Amino acid sequence: MARMPIIAGNWKMNKTPGESVAFVRELTPKIADYGEVERIVAPTMLALSAVAAALRESPVQVAAQDAHWQVDGAYTSQVSAAMLTPFVDYVIIGHSECRAFLGETDENVNRKAKAILAEDLHPIIAVGESLAQYEADETLHVVRSQVIAALEGLSAGDMDRVVIAYEPIWAIGSGKSASGEVAEDIIRSAVRDTIAMLHGDDAAESVRIQYGGSVKPSNMEEFMSQPNIDGALVGGASLDVDDFAALVEIAARVKGS
């Protein structure tokens, strides 16, 4: 089954609304012709509406960096998936920084996934192990457990709208990255095979799985050459127009049909 490559830039806590709009206006012409690749930017919540407006006639899509699982209520500082629907197509959940700094739990990632799907949006579910877990040879167990927890109660049909991002925590922002071969083995064994166990081979083959963690133009082809890696969830390199455009070009060249 051919899966469309998917490149998403997670800007984290970077760029003002004005800077974000200027960035996508410069970026869009450079990546507009790569229709064989799904291209996504994830600005801050404050910049979402402005970026969405700037990209309204563009092939570039927008993601939020998180969402609450409730539709509304007394949840100070939070934004629900229902509130995001006018602006985004995707929502990133379960990122290691949210797990580490904001107390994100597997249970809440699952609640968020269900809420996002209920609004006809697409969750990008981040999973990954810490350096200590990696060095203790616990990677497969940790990642499998996170995948199982995140997909609890979802159907095989939901898998068409789910994206999984495998991000080894020790590689995020460190300049280090797993090798393409290592990432491929983990993604196949701990992610795709786990989805097959839960929902069958057809569902597992439909799910797009990204790699994340110090992805940059110099190592992008190594990851995109792997059969089970369908794209990248990119941090630092997505903040540079030329680097982001290079990642999309590499994905199109290696994975595009």
> Six-digit token pair at 227?
């059969």
95 flagged as catalytic: yes
- Report d(CA 90, CA 170) in Å as an integer: 25
To which residue do tokens 């095979």 refer?
Answer: 193
Per DSSP (E only), the strands in the chain are 6-10, 38-42, 61-64, 90-93, 122-127, 163-166, 208-212, 231-234
Question: In angstroms, what is the C-alpha Rg of the chain?
Answer: 17
Q: Which is it for the CA torsion 174, 43, 230, 222, positive or negative?
A: negative
Question: What b/e sequence results for 108-143 when a residue is b if at least 16 CB atoms lie within 10 Å of its CB, and e otherwise?
Answer: bbbbbbbbbbebebbbbbbbbbbeebbeeeebbebb
129 flagged as catalytic: no
Spot the catalytic one: 97, 104, 129, 167: 167
Spot the catalytic one: 38, 68, 95, 104: 95
| Catalytic machinery residues | 95, 167
